[in-house]
Amino acid sequence: MINYTLLGKRIKKYRRKQGLTQAELAEIVGVSPNHISKIETASTKLSLEVFVGIADALKVSADQLLLRDPAESSSNGGEELYELFNGCTAEAKMFIIDILEGLNALFPATQSTDF
């Protein structure tokens, strides 16, 4: 399943690395700047054609946009967990917290604070 929030953040990250504005990327891809904005904020989904156009314009592979890169992996998925957690209902959040508290009791944290 595609996480459109993370996809949008990655597109924004690579767009900025290329020194492109939303308007410049939109022109290259053949869409409106508003559409690029909505993609970056996960307010809309994008077609395969637009996805490929964005990847080409940003000179990145589809994997780089869809999959976690090593720099993101160093955070142990914290950003992704945060996004997933915030998408849960209050009841689900309480359930998740209960599970995590139980896991922490079974597997105490070591000195590592990577997460």
Q: Domain span at residue 39?
A: 4-66
Within a domain: residue 111? no
112 located within any domain: no
pLDDT over 50 (residue 74): no
The answer to whether residues 74 and 56 belong to one domain is no
Query: φ, ψ for residue 81 (rounded to 5)?
Result: -60, -40
Residues 40 and 80 in one domain: no
- In Å, how far are 41, 82, 108 from 71, measured between CA atoms? 21, 17, 26
Tens digits of residue pLDDT in 7-58: 999 999 999 999 999 999 999 999 999 999 999 999 999 999 999 999 999 9
Which sign, positive or negative, has the C-alpha torsion 94, 97, 102, 105? negative
Q: Which helix (H) or strand (E) holds 4?
A: helix 4-17
